[in-house]
């Protein structure tokens, strides 16, 4: 394993590793049963779905015929309802050696005896009785027929304090799984860490397991050899259909809800729920059922809106509505043809043909030339969900949290698959991942790059990554090689034909007919302008025409009052207005001429030009 120089004083935590290809692949229930049966002492379940995690543990222990206990800071350690029959714990006898007298030669006479403390005189005895009571079995001093229902719900003696709870667990011999909820809040206590290590070492010798559930857990390095992580995957399409059925059945028991959705509609609704956790999906379905009082076609769009809100709340991913398609992009014929060839490459018939799903594309070039528009248009053209990755939100101030955040992004993106993952300005994420990054950010950028490269190389889910970049020279070479991204396209300033297309698109968007304008003359005047600068010039010309005398838009204006002249307001933009707006603008090709020339020189032999005509730029 590669070692990195980490500044003195930096707190180090265990960083989870991705599951590599070739490792055992099984569902969470089977994986948990394997961990329990193999005497794994500590299992970490990082999830916000606490109820799902507890249900999973209960199901595993029910099949393994083991008891389940749950600990919280509020209630202490109580028996969980697994329904498993468990043998009573063994109460260990105590060997006592008492010195009676010694002679002058130093020889001693001692009496060795084996005894058990009377009920109530030993901490271990009191703990054992509490365990027996919580298991619903009579303890010493309790009649067999005595009611123990109240004891079954009571917390085990002196277990509210986390340190004392771990001390109690260390003395227990019953085969069981102990769920510690929100225990991550106590991991900064060195006594807790020491007790947890002691418990883990003892549990590793027999079938006893601690399960820690929390949204995030920072495990200290002392526990590295005792810990295994268990992920709860996002629900797939069949599971989401089950959740829709289960939620409808539950809600129909308390509300009058009509069933108006057929099997195809349920499939569409499940597809719109992809990327959500089971609890989030259940909540979205419940809300739309109560609002509509029916499982209808309107529920399909309702859950999609709910998913957009939930993803935006995550602060790392944003569900973007893909309204544009490649027809909204002027020029770039090489890029359009490349994307057209790969449309539908993740369908079943494509896999039968032997095709692999495309991995992604990097679109680099001059600022304002339509790179982000192309990324959005890919999703619209392919009719796939578009998710934008907020590159700034992934970084966290705590060591190890950034890596967890990027793993969460990958997990959600795969849950949404097939989809397009849009990463804008890729260089801002990985520009600091060079060999000297450890001195700047404790190696976070380097580890982030490693996680991203591993995911790009090994992922199986059809997630197409559309990344844009303004300065490719700062990107690490291993990121842009083939195998990570399928192709690297360079977008230059538009040529004359492309400028005509861009003007036509912009005028059409503003309810003007392109044939009413001298596009050839306007395109020539816009030489050296980017697509964004052309759009800005058209908008400026529209403002100038709108504010011209006689078309002020005021209700008291004579022209506005004249209905016969009102129709002329949609034709008041003239070619001269566009030419005037262009002449008053200094394009980026002049203000940043040297940088653009350098970028063109780099891309000449290293990237595929997105336009059909490479050079010269006419």
pLDDT (tens digit, 9 = 90+) per residue, 130-160?
Answer: 555 544 444 444 443 444 444 445 566 678 8
For 164-210, how does the pLDDT look when each residue is reduced to its tens digit (9 = 90+)? Answer: 899 888 888 888 999 999 998 898 899 999 999 999 999 988 889 99
Residues 6+ apart with CB under 8 A from 427: 469, 470, 471, 472, 474, 475
How many helices (H) and strands (E) in the chain?
26, 17
How far is it, in rounded angstroms, from Cα 413 to Cα 294? 30
β-pairing, 294-295 with 360-365?
unpaired
DSSP one-letter code for 482 = B
Query: Distance (Å, rounded) from C-alpha 79 to C-alpha 417?
Result: 40
Phi, psi of 516 (to 5 degrees): -80, 0
Residue 308: per-residue pLDDT:
81
The pLDDT of residue 408 is: 79
Centre a 10 Å sphere on the Cβ of residue 52 and count the other Cβ atoms it contains.
19
Cβ(317)–Cβ(409) below 8 Å: yes
Q: Is the pLDDT of residue 283 over 70?
A: yes
Given phi > 0 = left and psi -120 to 50 = alpha, else beta, which region is 101?
beta
E strand spans, 88-191: 94-102, 108-115, 176-181
Write down the pLDDT at residue 403: 72
Of the candidate ranges 85-94, 247-256, 289-298, 355-364, the one whose mean pLDDT is the lowest: 85-94
Q: Are 235 and 243 in contact (CB under 8 A)?
A: yes
Is the pLDDT at 571 greater than 80? The verdict is: no
Can you give the pLDDT at residue 193? 92
Residue that is written with structure tokens 């909540």 in the block: 283
State the pLDDT confidence band at 90, using cuts at 50, 70 and 90.
very low
Of the candidates 2, 1, 7, 3, the residue with the CA atom closest to the CA atom of residue 439? 7
pLDDT of residue 595: 86
CB atoms within 10 A of CB 446: 21
Greatest CA separation for the chain: 132
Nearest to 485 by CA among 361, 323, 358, 402: 361
Secondary structure letter of residue 391 according to DSSP: T
CB 449 within 8 A of CB 433: yes
Q: Quick one: which of 289, 281, 323 has its CA closest to 306?
A: 281
Going by pLDDT thresholds of 50, 70 and 90, the confidence category of residue 104 is very low
User: Which residue pairs from 83-88 have beta carbons closer than 8 angstroms and sit at least 24 positions apart in sequence?
Assistant: 86/135, 86/174, 86/175, 86/176, 87/174, 87/175, 88/131, 88/132, 88/135, 88/137, 88/174
In the prediction, which pLDDT does 157 show?
Answer: 66
- Of 438-442, 468-472, 607-611, least confident by mean pLDDT is 438-442
Tokens of 305: 């809106």
Region of residue 608 (left: phi > 0; alpha: psi -120 to 50; beta: else): beta
List the one residue out of 309, 310, 323 whose CA is nearest residue 386.
323
Residue 484: pLDDT over 90: no
**In 10 A of CB 576, how many CB atoms?**
12
| Collapsed DSSP state (helix, strand, coil) of residue 182 | coil
pLDDT reading at 543 higher than 70: yes
Q: What is the pLDDT of residue 449?
A: 82
Residue 126's pLDDT is 52
The reported pLDDT for the residue numbered 442 is 56
* pLDDT tens string 67-88: 999 999 988 888 875 333 333 3
What pTM does this model have?
A: 0.65
Q: What does the block give as tokens for 443?
A: 């190696």
Provide the pLDDT confidence category of residue 550 given band limits of 50, 70 and 90.
Answer: low
Query: Average pLDDT, stretch 245-260?
Result: 91
> Encoding tokens for residue 216?
């995030």
What integer pLDDT is reported at residue 409 of this predicted model?
81
Query: Among residues 486, 454, 488, which one has the least CA distance to residue 355?
Result: 486
* Residues 6+ positions from 456 with CB-CB distance below 8 Å: 359, 360, 465, 484, 485
The residue with greater pLDDT, 346 or 528, is: 528
Arithmetic mean of pLDDT, 519-523: 91
Q: Are 36 and 66 in contact (CB under 8 A)?
A: yes
Closest CA to 369 of 208, 236, 490, 272: 490
Mean pLDDT (whole number) for 493-517 = 89
Q: Are 467 and 586 in contact (CB under 8 A)?
A: no
- Structure tokens given for 264: 């195809």
Residue 288: pLDDT band (50, 70, 90) is: very high
pLDDT of 340: 87
Cβ(351)–Cβ(459) under 8 Å? no
Alpha carbon distance 458, 461 (integer Å): 9
Angle at 31 between CA 404 and CA 160, to 5 degrees: 70
Q: What share of the chain in percent tops pLDDT 70?
A: 75
**Residues 6 or more apart in contact with residue 341 via CB below 8 angstroms:** none
Is the model's pLDDT at 284 over the cut of 80?
Answer: yes
C-beta separation of 343 from 307 below 8 A: no
Determine contact, residues 22/410, Cβ cutoff 8 Å.
no
Length of the chain: 618
For the chain, the average pLDDT equals 77
What pLDDT score was predicted for residue 396? 58
Strand order of the β-sheet with 608-609 is: 317-320, 386-389, 419-423, 463-469, 360-365, 487-491, 608-609
The Cβ of residue 405 has, within 10 Å, a number of other Cβ atoms equal to: 18
Q: Which pLDDT does position 614 carry in this prediction? A: 46
Could you tell me the two tokens for 115? 């005894």
Residues in contact with 134: Cβ distance below 8 Å, sequence separation at least 6, in sequence order: 69, 78, 79, 151, 152, 154, 156
In this prediction, residue 6 carries a pLDDT of 41
Q: To which residue do tokens 């916000």 refer?
A: 48
pLDDT at 117: 43
Question: What is the pLDDT at residue 102?
Answer: 44
* Better-predicted residue by pLDDT, 543 or 432: 543
Say whether pLDDT at 561 is over 70. no
- Quick one: average pLDDT of 385-398? 71
pLDDT at 101 over 50: no
C-beta atoms surrounding 156 within 10 Å: 24
Q: Is the pLDDT of residue 129 over 60?
A: no
CA dihedral angle for residue 418, residue 424, residue 429, residue 432, rounded to 10 degrees: 140
Closest by CA position to 588, among listed 540, 536, 524, 520: 536
In 3-state terms, what secondary structure has residue 13? Answer: coil
């Amino acid at each position: 394993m590669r070692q990195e120089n980490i500044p003195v004083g930096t707190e180090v935590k265990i960083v989870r590793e991705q599951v590599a290809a070739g490792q055992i692949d099984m569902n969470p229930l089977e994986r948990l049963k394997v961990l329990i049966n193999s005497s794994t002492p500590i299992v970490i379940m990082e999830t916000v779905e606490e109820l799902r995690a507890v249900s999973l543990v209960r199901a595993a222990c029910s099949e393994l015929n083991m008891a389940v206990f749950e600990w919280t800071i509020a209630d202490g350690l109580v028996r969980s309802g697994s329904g498993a029959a468990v043998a009573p714990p063994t109460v260990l006898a105590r060997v006592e050696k008492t010195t009676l007298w010694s002679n002058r030669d130093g020889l001693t006479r001692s009496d060795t005896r084996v005894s058990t403390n009377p009920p109530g005189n030993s901490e271990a005895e009191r703990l054992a009785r509490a365990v027996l009571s919580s298991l619903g079995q009579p303890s010493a001093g309790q009649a067999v027929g005595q009611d123990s229902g109240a004891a079954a719900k009571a917390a085990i003696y002196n277990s509210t304090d986390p340190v004392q709870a771990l001390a109690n667990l260390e003395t227990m011999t019953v085969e069981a799984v102990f769920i510690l909820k929100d225990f991550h809040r106590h991991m900064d206590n060195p006594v807790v860490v020491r007790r947890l290590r002691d418990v883990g070492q003892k549990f590793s010798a027999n079938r006893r397991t601690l399960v820690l559930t929390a949204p995030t857990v920072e495990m200290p390095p002392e526990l590295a050899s005792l810990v295994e992580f268990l992920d709860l995957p996002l629900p797939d399409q069949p599971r989401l259909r089950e959740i829709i059925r289960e939620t409808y059945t539950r809600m129909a028991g308390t509300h009058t809800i009509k069933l108006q959705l057929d099997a195809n509609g349920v499939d569409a609704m499940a597809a719109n729920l992809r990327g959500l956790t089971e609890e989030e999906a259940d909540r979205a379905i419940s809300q739309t059922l109560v609002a509509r009082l029916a499982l209808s076609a309107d529920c399909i769009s309702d859950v999609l809106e709910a998913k957009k809100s939930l993803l935006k709340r995550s602060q790392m991913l944003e569900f973007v509505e893909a309204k544009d398609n490649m027809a909204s992009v002027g020029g770039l014929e090489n890029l359009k043809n490349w994307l057209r060839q790969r449309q539908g490459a993740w369908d079943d018939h494509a896999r039968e043909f032997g095709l692999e799903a495309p991995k992604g594309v990097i679109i680099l070039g001059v600022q304002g030339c339509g790179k982000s528009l192309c990324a959005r248009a890919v999703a619209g053209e392919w009719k796939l969900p578009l998710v934008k990755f907020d590159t700034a939100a992934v970084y966290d101030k705590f060591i190890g949290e950034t890596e967890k955040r990027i793993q969460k992004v990958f997990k959600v993106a795969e849950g949404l698959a097939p989809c397009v993952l849009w990463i804008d300005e890729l260089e801002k994420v990985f520009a600091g991942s060079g060999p000297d990054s450890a001195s700047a950010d404790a190696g976070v950028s380097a580890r982030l790059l490693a996680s991203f490269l591993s995911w790009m190389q090994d992922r199986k889910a059809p997630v197409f990554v559309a990344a844009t970049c303004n300065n490719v020279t700062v990107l690490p070479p291993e990121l842009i090689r083939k195998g990570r991204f399928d192709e690297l396209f360079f977008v230059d300033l538009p040529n004359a034909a492309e400028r005509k297309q861009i003007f036509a698109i912009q005028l059409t968007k503003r309810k003007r007919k392109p044939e009413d304008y001298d596009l050839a003359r306007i395109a020539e005047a816009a030489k050296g302008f980017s697509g964004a600068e052309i759009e800005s010039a058209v908008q400026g010309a529209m403002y100038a025409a709108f504010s011209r005398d006689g078309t002020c838009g005021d209700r008291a204006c004579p022209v506005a009052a004249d209905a016969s002249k009102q129709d002329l307001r949609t034709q008041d933009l003239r070619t001269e207005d566009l030419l005037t707006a262009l002449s008053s603008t200094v394009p980026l090709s002049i203000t940043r001429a040297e940088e653009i020339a350098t970028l063109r020189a780099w891309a000449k032999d290293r990237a595929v030009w997105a336009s059909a005509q490479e050079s010269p730029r006419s």
